[in-house]
Chains A and B, each alone.
Chain A
Amino acid sequence: MSRAAQEFLRSAAEKSADLTHRQLIRKGIDSYNAANERGRARFFDWEAARLKCQQIKWEAVNNLDRYLLEFEQRVKERGGHVFWAENSEEACNYIVNLAVARGVQKVVKSKSMVSEEIHLGAALEKLGIKVVETDLGEHIVQLREETPYHIVTPAMHLNRTQIAALFKEKLGDVDTDDPQQLVAAARRALRRDFFSAEMGISGANFLVADAGMIALTTNEGNARLCTSVPRIHVVLTGIEKVIPHLQDLATLWPVLATAGTGQPITCYSTLAGGPRQPGEPDGPEEFHVVLVDNGRSELLANAAEREVLQCIRCGACINACPVFRTVGGHTYGTTYMGPIGSVLTPHLRGLPEFNHLSYASSLCGACTDVCPVKIDLHHHLLHNRRDAVAESDRPHSERMAFRVWRWANLSAGRFAFFGWAARLGMRMLHGLHLDGTLFDPGRAWNKNHAGLPVPSKSFRAMWGKRNGHN
């Protein structure tokens, strides 16, 4: 078992038993569900909108090379720079070198999961460059020195009291648990940063190929400040974010907002496409786009799994996932949590280390039902499991168990015998009060369950007796 798997199991056991956590998350997801239901009802036909989004992203992902080059060309025409980073290291180096060359001392960041993926914050801070997260949720988890709990709502695991205590300690000028005053305190602190930072880093919800612009979605307006006030704007994004046409946003933007938070559209929808042009009163002097591959091309090459790249990072699958709601976002130990994380992470960071995530699902399919771009998430988990058995280190005992299982199930006689023996064994264990002990092969089950029923006769035995052998 990999280290990541061991840590996952440990943390999962801890969080599963934490009823306060369970209730807090249930409450958060309940309000999301109510908003999301209202949001979907606003659509003339939500299912048709999903299908449209799926088609747009399918077209983009299946012609990624063409649309990325188109995007790059348009950005360059407007005087922007585009850097193709094959991995985390290249992406970090480009941004760090740029910051150093331009004498940057402070960076303001709007939300970018790719920056978490490549650990950009740590790379900048190592050189003494201060990094300030400006999304409120991200800011809170940054103050707590945590990673985001959820890709859309990074601080959903915290209640108001915890945030009040944190702000009192870290921001100093606030001592209240009134949400409005807490937000005002964060706003005061962040304003100072927006106007003193030399570099703003944003992600991108979409890269619009025909317009050569990035599309950003926020509710706090922080991305607009990050992308327009500092001298340098760096866009950090995965290559799969490209979409063909500006008009695609007419469907993608409202669908993303609805799937993400239940809103008809987010408060701020921004397009940015380059440095300040001659005659323009404001905007950054430099505009850089860092396109991160980091394993995505390999996934793109896999035709059966490629659609995973259609993800628009709305978080709907995470909210729908009963495993996420039970273990929480930090237990995954990955940048992307929940179903999409369990599907994607083994592709980005390796199946041997992360195949346990493919197994940490009851395959209930709730994720697939809500995905706005119709990624067949739970079936991709099945494929990852198949690939884990074929290519990586599943336990020897498991391999042997299924070989025996197969042999037993290829004959009705052997099946009946194994069944009879198992029932006899269970009765003996129970008779000797050994359930749940080391002698009990079903102890993982028996720890949390009352004993299984053990009938003396199987269905087939009773059928044979009542209906004659036919």
Chain B
Amino acid sequence: MARVALFIPCFVDQLVPQVGLDMVHVLRRVGCELDFPQEQTCCGQPAFNTGYWEDARPVAERFVQIFRQAEVVVCPSGSCTTMVRNFYPELLSGTPLQAEAIALGQRVYEFSEYLVKVARVTDVGASFAHRVAVHDSCHGLRELRLKEESRELLRRVRSLELVEMPYSEDCCGFGGTFATKFSAISAAMGDAKAGYAETAGAEYVTATDPSCLLHLDGILRHRNSSVQTIHLASILAQTGTAAERRAPAAPARRQQ
């Protein structure tokens, strides 16, 4: 049984804990034994992205020390995974922890990446009778090169209809502090994205990054849209009725 340490991003911990709980359900269902290192706080990305590398560095060092014993770390955010895997090596360059940070980066996985590439599971026994579109979160897509992983998992969800939305790879406009420093641009980008989700006829837009979803959720509700947001883990955590659970995962649902 794989032993997995949970990396729960700071804003998931404080604002959308359900995403973390849903990830816990799914990982347990596929047979993982879980640890939650209670000392964890933030990976340091807000300061790093704003240019405050001196402030980000001790927070990153602390993160490496907390997770140094973990065999495998799984995180419900492509962005926070990117911070550890892609940015720690540069941030901690020249510090005693650099080598360890690089090694840790190779053991930290985004949730869908872990399921498909490491645990090699695509059918997690989920059921979700809704039309769902995927928003390709930027860090997952362009830093971790993840795109098909979430779709492979969704295709195996019973009763789920996967639809593609136009411009699924366009940024939603969140961008961390960008959303407050340049709120007009950020909101306009989110607004365009919300429109694409509506065009696709989706009931839900899902993503591997809860930060994109928090932003889009606020935008969608602000424009009284019927489209809702849901994190991938929260779809995969839904098991539906007993009858639905007995039904085979239907590859016929695969979208062309």
User: Majority SS of interface residues in chain B?
Assistant: helix
Residues on B with beta carbons closer than 8 Å to the beta carbon of A442: 180
Residues on B with beta carbons closer than 8 Å to the beta carbon of A12: 182, 184-185
Sort A-B residue pairs by CB-CB distance and give the 6 closest, nearest first: A449-B218, A362-B175, A385-B51, A450-B221, A448-B187, A364-B171
Q: How far is the CA of A463 from the CA of B59 in the complex (A)?
A: 22
Residues on A with beta carbons closer than 8 Å to the beta carbon of B42: 405, 409, 415
Contact flag A16-B62 (CB < 8 Å), given A322-B189, A365-B143, A467-B36: no
Q: How far is the CA of A73 from the CA of B234 in the complex (A)?
A: 67
Which of A246-254, A294-302, A454-462 lines the interface with chain B? A454-462
Whether the Cβ atoms of B138 and A389 lie closer than 8 Å is no
Which of B8-16, B100-108, B124-132 lines the interface with chain A? B8-16
Least CB distance from B57 to A in Å reads 9
Q: Interface size of B by Cβ–Cβ distance < 8 Å?
A: 68
Q: How far is the CA of A142 from the CA of B11 in the complex (A)?
A: 49
Residues on A with beta carbons closer than 8 Å to the beta carbon of B218: 445, 448-452
Whether the Cβ atoms of B44 and A409 lie closer than 8 Å is yes
Residues on A with beta carbons closer than 8 Å to the beta carbon of B52: 389, 399, 402, 406
Contact flag A327-B185 (CB < 8 Å), given A406-B47, A409-B44, A459-B20: yes
Least CB distance from A392 to B in Å reads 10
Task: For A322, give its contact among B35, B58, B170, B183 (CB under 8 Å).
Answer: B170
Residues on A with beta carbons closer than 8 Å to the beta carbon of B189: 322-323, 326, 362
Interface check A160, CB cutoff 8 A: no
Contact flag A453-B16 (CB < 8 Å), given A385-B49, A386-B51, A403-B55: yes
Given A12-B182, A16-B188, 14 further pairs, Cβ under 8 A = A363-B175, A365-B142, A368-B142, A388-B51, A402-B47, A403-B55, A422-B14, A448-B219, A449-B187, A453-B15, A455-B17, A457-B17, A462-B21, A463-B20
User: Majority SS of interface residues in chain A?
Assistant: helix
Whether the Cβ atoms of A362 and B138 lie closer than 8 Å is yes
Whether the Cβ atoms of A16 and B185 lie closer than 8 Å is yes
Whether the Cβ atoms of A409 and B171 lie closer than 8 Å is no
Interface check B40, CB cutoff 8 A: yes
Least CB distance from A402 to B in Å reads 4
**Most chain A C-beta atoms within 10 Å of own C-beta, residue among B17, B18, B182, B215:** B182
Q: How far is the CA of A455 from the CA of B182 in the complex (A)?
A: 27
Whether the Cβ atoms of A452 and B188 lie closer than 8 Å is no
Interface check A13, CB cutoff 8 A: yes
Whether the Cβ atoms of B219 and A364 lie closer than 8 Å is no
Residues on A with beta carbons closer than 8 Å to the beta carbon of B50: 359, 385, 389, 398, 402
A1-39 vs B, CB cutoff 8 Å, 1 = contact: the mask equals 000000001001100110000100000000000000000
Interface check A469, CB cutoff 8 A: yes
Residue of A nearest to B47 (CB): A402
Residue of B nearest to A355 (CB): B51
Residue of B nearest to A418 (CB): B14
Residues on A with beta carbons closer than 8 Å to the beta carbon of B241: none
Whether the Cβ atoms of B179 and A445 lie closer than 8 Å is yes
25 A-B pairs with C-beta separation under 8 A: A9-B182, A322-B170, A359-B177, A361-B178, A362-B171, A363-B138, A366-B142, A366-B171, A389-B53, A405-B55, A409-B41, A409-B62, A410-B58, A444-B179, A444-B183, A447-B183, A448-B183, A448-B218, A449-B222, A450-B217, A455-B17, A457-B17, A459-B20, A460-B36, A463-B36
Q: How far is the CA of A408 from the CA of B41 in the complex (A)?
A: 9
Residues on B with beta carbons closer than 8 Å to the beta carbon of A327: 185
Whether the Cβ atoms of A386 and B185 lie closer than 8 Å is no
Whether the Cβ atoms of B21 and A412 lie closer than 8 Å is no
Q: How far is the CA of A360 from the CA of B181 in the complex (A)?
A: 8
Least CB distance from B11 to A in Å reads 9
Least CB distance from B76 to A in Å reads 10
B70-102 vs A, CB cutoff 8 Å, 1 = contact: the mask equals 000000000000000000000000000000000
